[in-house]
Amino acid sequence: MTGKNSPTILKSIFKKILNPKQSEPLAVGLPESHRLYCVGDIHGRLDLLHDIHRKIATDALEFDGVKLVVYLGDYVDRGPHSKQVIDCLVENDFPDFETVFLLGNHEQVLLRFLSGKDASIAHDWFRFGGLSTLASYGVSVRGIPTSKDLERLRAEFKEKLPATHLQFLERLVSHYELGGYFFVHAGVRPKIKLHRQRLEDLLWIREEFLNSDFFHGKVIVHGHSVTEQPEVHHNRIGLDTGAYSSGILTCAVFEELTCRFL
Protein backbone atom coordinates (compact mmCIF):
# COMPACT_ATOMS: atom_id res chain seq x y z
CA MET A 1 0.00 0.00 0.00
CA THR A 2 1.37 3.41 -0.90
CA GLY A 3 0.50 6.91 0.31
CA LYS A 4 -2.94 8.31 -0.09
CA ASN A 5 -2.63 9.96 -3.47
CA SER A 6 0.23 8.14 -5.08
CA PRO A 7 -0.98 5.53 -7.51
CA THR A 8 0.03 1.93 -7.03
CA ILE A 9 1.52 0.70 -10.25
CA LEU A 10 -0.05 -2.62 -11.00
CA LYS A 11 2.69 -3.77 -13.37
CA SER A 12 3.73 -6.51 -10.98
CA ILE A 13 0.15 -7.72 -10.92
CA PHE A 14 0.04 -7.80 -14.67
CA LYS A 15 3.59 -9.08 -15.24
CA LYS A 16 2.39 -12.64 -15.61
CA ILE A 17 -0.32 -11.78 -18.08
CA LEU A 18 1.90 -9.37 -20.02
CA ASN A 19 4.05 -12.38 -20.94
CA PRO A 20 4.37 -12.17 -24.75
CA LYS A 21 4.51 -15.97 -25.03
CA GLN A 22 0.81 -16.11 -24.24
CA SER A 23 -0.86 -17.22 -27.46
CA GLU A 24 -3.79 -14.94 -26.81
CA PRO A 25 -2.63 -11.94 -24.80
CA LEU A 26 -5.06 -11.12 -22.02
CA ALA A 27 -6.34 -7.60 -21.45
CA VAL A 28 -4.46 -5.71 -18.78
CA GLY A 29 -5.36 -2.60 -16.81
CA LEU A 30 -7.94 -0.30 -18.37
CA PRO A 31 -8.18 0.88 -21.98
CA GLU A 32 -6.46 4.22 -22.69
CA SER A 33 -8.36 7.41 -21.82
CA HIS A 34 -10.67 5.61 -19.42
CA ARG A 35 -10.90 6.37 -15.74
CA LEU A 36 -12.98 4.15 -13.48
CA TYR A 37 -14.03 4.96 -9.92
CA CYS A 38 -15.07 1.94 -7.88
CA VAL A 39 -17.05 2.43 -4.66
CA GLY A 40 -17.17 -0.18 -1.88
CA ASP A 41 -20.09 -1.36 0.29
CA ILE A 42 -22.20 1.63 1.40
CA HIS A 43 -24.69 -0.07 3.78
CA GLY A 44 -27.03 2.85 4.39
CA ARG A 45 -24.37 5.49 5.05
CA LEU A 46 -25.68 8.43 3.01
CA ASP A 47 -23.23 10.81 4.69
CA LEU A 48 -20.24 8.81 3.43
CA LEU A 49 -21.76 8.40 -0.03
CA HIS A 50 -22.13 12.18 -0.33
CA ASP A 51 -18.50 12.66 0.77
CA ILE A 52 -17.20 10.16 -1.75
CA HIS A 53 -19.31 11.67 -4.55
CA ARG A 54 -17.82 15.07 -3.81
CA LYS A 55 -14.32 13.60 -3.94
CA ILE A 56 -15.03 11.84 -7.22
CA ALA A 57 -16.46 15.01 -8.78
CA THR A 58 -13.39 17.03 -7.76
CA ASP A 59 -10.98 14.35 -8.87
CA ALA A 60 -12.65 13.94 -12.28
CA LEU A 61 -12.89 17.66 -13.02
CA GLU A 62 -9.82 17.87 -15.26
CA PHE A 63 -10.24 14.47 -16.91
CA ASP A 64 -11.42 14.43 -20.53
CA GLY A 65 -11.70 10.72 -21.33
CA VAL A 66 -14.40 8.16 -20.63
CA LYS A 67 -15.43 8.28 -16.97
CA LEU A 68 -17.14 5.45 -15.14
CA VAL A 69 -18.36 4.74 -11.62
CA VAL A 70 -18.87 1.15 -10.55
CA TYR A 71 -20.67 0.49 -7.27
CA LEU A 72 -19.93 -2.90 -5.71
CA GLY A 73 -23.35 -3.53 -4.13
CA ASP A 74 -24.67 -3.71 -0.53
CA TYR A 75 -26.30 -0.29 -0.66
CA VAL A 76 -28.88 -1.16 2.01
CA ASP A 77 -29.05 -2.59 5.58
CA ARG A 78 -27.20 -1.87 8.82
CA GLY A 79 -26.73 1.92 8.38
CA PRO A 80 -29.64 4.30 9.01
CA HIS A 81 -30.27 5.65 5.48
CA SER A 82 -30.84 2.79 3.06
CA LYS A 83 -33.76 4.49 1.32
CA GLN A 84 -31.86 7.75 1.00
CA VAL A 85 -28.81 5.95 -0.41
CA ILE A 86 -30.97 4.39 -3.13
CA ASP A 87 -32.58 7.80 -3.77
CA CYS A 88 -29.13 9.29 -4.27
CA LEU A 89 -28.04 6.50 -6.64
CA VAL A 90 -31.28 6.67 -8.64
CA GLU A 91 -30.99 10.44 -8.99
CA ASN A 92 -27.43 10.02 -10.31
CA ASP A 93 -24.90 12.68 -9.38
CA PHE A 94 -22.79 11.86 -12.45
CA PRO A 95 -24.77 12.38 -15.66
CA ASP A 96 -21.59 12.50 -17.77
CA PHE A 97 -20.24 9.21 -16.37
CA GLU A 98 -21.18 5.68 -17.27
CA THR A 99 -22.58 4.14 -14.10
CA VAL A 100 -22.65 0.46 -13.19
CA PHE A 101 -24.59 -0.82 -10.17
CA LEU A 102 -23.71 -4.33 -9.04
CA LEU A 103 -25.98 -6.59 -7.04
CA GLY A 104 -24.92 -7.29 -3.45
CA ASN A 105 -26.08 -10.18 -1.29
CA HIS A 106 -28.10 -7.74 0.84
CA GLU A 107 -30.10 -6.57 -2.20
CA GLN A 108 -30.61 -10.19 -3.23
CA VAL A 109 -32.11 -10.98 0.17
CA LEU A 110 -34.26 -7.82 0.13
CA LEU A 111 -35.69 -8.87 -3.25
CA ARG A 112 -36.34 -12.40 -1.97
CA PHE A 113 -38.19 -10.99 1.02
CA LEU A 114 -40.29 -8.79 -1.29
CA SER A 115 -41.13 -11.70 -3.57
CA GLY A 116 -42.66 -13.58 -0.63
CA LYS A 117 -41.54 -16.89 -2.13
CA ASP A 118 -39.10 -17.79 0.60
CA ALA A 119 -40.57 -17.28 4.06
CA SER A 120 -37.42 -18.38 5.88
CA ILE A 121 -35.35 -15.56 4.38
CA ALA A 122 -37.13 -12.84 6.39
CA HIS A 123 -35.61 -13.66 9.75
CA ASP A 124 -32.12 -13.90 8.26
CA TRP A 125 -32.61 -10.53 6.62
CA PHE A 126 -33.85 -8.92 9.84
CA ARG A 127 -30.86 -10.34 11.68
CA PHE A 128 -28.35 -8.86 9.29
CA GLY A 129 -29.70 -5.36 8.97
CA GLY A 130 -33.03 -5.52 7.14
CA LEU A 131 -34.92 -3.86 9.96
CA SER A 132 -32.90 -0.65 9.45
CA THR A 133 -33.85 -0.75 5.79
CA LEU A 134 -37.56 -1.20 6.57
CA ALA A 135 -37.38 1.67 9.07
CA SER A 136 -35.70 3.95 6.51
CA TYR A 137 -38.72 3.38 4.22
CA GLY A 138 -41.09 4.31 7.04
CA VAL A 139 -42.31 0.75 7.61
CA SER A 140 -43.40 0.52 11.23
CA VAL A 141 -41.18 -1.98 12.98
CA ARG A 142 -41.82 -2.70 16.66
CA GLY A 143 -39.18 -4.90 18.21
CA ILE A 144 -38.15 -8.14 16.53
CA PRO A 145 -40.93 -9.23 14.16
CA THR A 146 -42.39 -12.72 14.55
CA SER A 147 -43.72 -14.93 11.76
CA LYS A 148 -47.20 -13.49 12.07
CA ASP A 149 -45.86 -9.96 11.36
CA LEU A 150 -44.26 -10.94 8.04
CA GLU A 151 -47.19 -10.45 5.71
CA ARG A 152 -47.98 -7.04 7.15
CA LEU A 153 -44.32 -5.94 6.89
CA ARG A 154 -44.04 -7.19 3.32
CA ALA A 155 -47.27 -5.46 2.27
CA GLU A 156 -46.26 -2.20 3.94
CA PHE A 157 -42.78 -2.34 2.40
CA LYS A 158 -44.24 -2.96 -1.09
CA GLU A 159 -46.53 0.00 -0.65
CA LYS A 160 -43.76 2.34 0.50
CA LEU A 161 -41.04 1.25 -1.92
CA PRO A 162 -41.06 3.73 -4.83
CA ALA A 163 -41.37 2.17 -8.30
CA THR A 164 -38.03 3.75 -9.25
CA HIS A 165 -36.36 1.92 -6.34
CA LEU A 166 -37.85 -1.44 -7.29
CA GLN A 167 -36.71 -0.89 -10.86
CA PHE A 168 -33.23 0.06 -9.63
CA LEU A 169 -33.02 -3.09 -7.49
CA GLU A 170 -34.31 -5.37 -10.23
CA ARG A 171 -31.79 -4.03 -12.74
CA LEU A 172 -28.67 -4.59 -10.63
CA VAL A 173 -26.11 -6.70 -12.44
CA SER A 174 -24.10 -9.63 -11.12
CA HIS A 175 -20.72 -8.50 -12.50
CA TYR A 176 -19.00 -6.06 -14.83
CA GLU A 177 -15.81 -6.41 -16.87
CA LEU A 178 -13.51 -3.81 -18.35
CA GLY A 179 -9.95 -4.34 -19.58
CA GLY A 180 -8.12 -6.62 -17.17
CA TYR A 181 -10.66 -6.25 -14.38
CA PHE A 182 -13.71 -8.21 -13.29
CA PHE A 183 -15.91 -6.31 -10.82
CA VAL A 184 -18.19 -8.33 -8.55
CA HIS A 185 -19.73 -8.03 -5.09
CA ALA A 186 -18.10 -10.90 -3.18
CA GLY A 187 -15.68 -12.73 -5.45
CA VAL A 188 -15.44 -15.80 -7.67
CA ARG A 189 -14.91 -19.51 -7.13
CA PRO A 190 -11.31 -20.37 -8.06
CA LYS A 191 -10.71 -22.59 -11.11
CA ILE A 192 -14.21 -22.04 -12.50
CA LYS A 193 -14.32 -19.88 -15.64
CA LEU A 194 -15.51 -16.35 -14.99
CA HIS A 195 -18.53 -16.86 -17.21
CA ARG A 196 -19.57 -20.10 -15.56
CA GLN A 197 -19.72 -18.80 -12.00
CA ARG A 198 -22.82 -19.34 -9.86
CA LEU A 199 -24.65 -16.24 -8.70
CA GLU A 200 -24.52 -17.49 -5.09
CA ASP A 201 -20.71 -17.49 -5.24
CA LEU A 202 -20.49 -14.06 -6.90
CA LEU A 203 -22.60 -12.61 -4.07
CA TRP A 204 -21.58 -14.63 -1.01
CA ILE A 205 -18.20 -16.35 -1.37
CA ARG A 206 -15.54 -15.66 1.27
CA GLU A 207 -12.67 -17.94 2.38
CA GLU A 208 -12.31 -20.11 -0.74
CA PHE A 209 -11.84 -16.93 -2.75
CA LEU A 210 -10.01 -14.76 -0.24
CA ASN A 211 -7.45 -17.46 0.60
CA SER A 212 -6.80 -18.44 -3.01
CA ASP A 213 -3.65 -17.48 -4.94
CA PHE A 214 -5.20 -18.66 -8.19
CA PHE A 215 -5.14 -16.08 -10.99
CA HIS A 216 -8.65 -15.92 -12.40
CA GLY A 217 -7.72 -14.48 -15.83
CA LYS A 218 -8.65 -10.98 -14.70
CA VAL A 219 -7.98 -9.10 -11.50
CA ILE A 220 -11.12 -9.44 -9.38
CA VAL A 221 -12.27 -6.17 -7.77
CA HIS A 222 -14.71 -6.89 -4.95
CA GLY A 223 -16.36 -5.80 -1.71
CA HIS A 224 -18.28 -7.94 0.84
CA SER A 225 -15.40 -8.99 3.09
CA VAL A 226 -14.42 -6.22 5.49
CA THR A 227 -10.79 -5.24 5.95
CA GLU A 228 -9.36 -2.23 7.77
CA GLN A 229 -7.64 -0.97 4.61
CA PRO A 230 -8.29 -1.73 0.97
CA GLU A 231 -6.31 -4.82 -0.05
CA VAL A 232 -4.30 -5.11 -3.26
CA HIS A 233 -3.24 -8.66 -4.13
CA HIS A 234 -1.94 -10.09 -7.40
CA ASN A 235 -5.30 -11.69 -8.18
CA ARG A 236 -7.83 -9.48 -6.37
CA ILE A 237 -8.45 -6.03 -4.94
CA GLY A 238 -10.78 -5.80 -1.92
CA LEU A 239 -12.57 -2.50 -1.26
CA ASP A 240 -15.00 -3.16 1.62
CA THR A 241 -13.66 -1.13 4.53
CA GLY A 242 -16.79 -1.64 6.63
CA ALA A 243 -18.25 1.84 6.07
CA TYR A 244 -21.23 1.16 8.32
CA SER A 245 -19.16 0.85 11.49
CA SER A 246 -15.73 2.22 10.51
CA GLY A 247 -16.98 5.41 8.84
CA ILE A 248 -14.60 4.72 5.96
CA LEU A 249 -16.11 4.23 2.51
CA THR A 250 -13.40 3.32 0.03
CA CYS A 251 -13.22 4.45 -3.57
CA ALA A 252 -10.48 3.09 -5.84
CA VAL A 253 -9.51 4.91 -9.02
CA PHE A 254 -8.33 2.81 -11.96
CA GLU A 255 -6.52 4.20 -14.97
CA GLU A 256 -4.42 2.24 -17.45
CA LEU A 257 -2.10 0.20 -15.20
CA THR A 258 -2.61 2.17 -12.01
CA CYS A 259 -4.84 2.04 -8.99
CA ARG A 260 -5.08 4.71 -6.31
CA PHE A 261 -7.51 5.51 -3.51
CA LEU A 262 -9.52 8.66 -2.82
Shortest distance (Å) from residue 50 CB to Mn ion: 21
Residues 36-70, buried b or exposed e (16+ Cβ, 10 A)?
Answer: bbbbbbbbbbbbbbeebbeebeebbeeeeebbbbb
On the CB side of 161, CA atoms within 13 Å amount to 20
Distance CA 126, CA 32 (A): 45
Phi-psi region of 187 (alpha: psi -120 to 50; beta: other; left: phi over 0): left
Q: Binding of Mn ion at residue 133 (CB under 5 A)? A: no
Strand-pairing partners, residue 254, are 36, 259
CB count, 10 Å around CB of 256? Answer: 17
- Stretch near Mn ion under the rule CB under 5 A, chosen from 18-26, 56-64, 170-178, 221-229: 221-229
Shortest distance (Å) from residue 36 CB to Mn ion: 21
Residue 45: φ, ψ to 5°: -100, 85
Q: Binding of Mn ion at residue 241 (CB under 5 A)? A: no
Q: Binding of Mn ion at residue 108 (CB under 5 A)? A: no
Q: Binding of Mn ion at residue 224 (CB under 5 A)? A: yes
Q: Binding of Mn ion at residue 82 (CB under 5 A)? A: no
Cβ closer to Mn ion: 30 or 41? 41
Q: Binding of Mn ion at residue 77 (CB under 5 A)? A: no
Cβ closer to Mn ion: 16 or 206? 206
Shortest distance (Å) from residue 170 CB to Mn ion: 18
| DSSP character string of 138-168 | T----SS--GGGHHHHHHHHHHHS-HHHHHH
Q: Binding of Mn ion at residue 105 (CB under 5 A)? A: yes
Q: Binding-site residue total for Mn ion (CB under 5 A)?
A: 4
Q: Binding of Mn ion at residue 78 (CB under 5 A)? A: no
- Stretch near Mn ion under the rule CB under 5 A, chosen from 20-28, 105-113, 145-153, 171-179: 105-113
- Stretch near Mn ion under the rule CB under 5 A, chosen from 62-70, 99-107, 226-234, 252-260: 99-107
Do 221 and 179 form a contact (C-beta atoms < 8 A)?
Answer: no
Angle (nearest 5°) at CA 230 between 229 and 233: 125
Q: Binding of Mn ion at residue 74 (CB under 5 A)? A: yes
Residues that bind Mn ion (CB under 5 A): 74, 104-105, 224
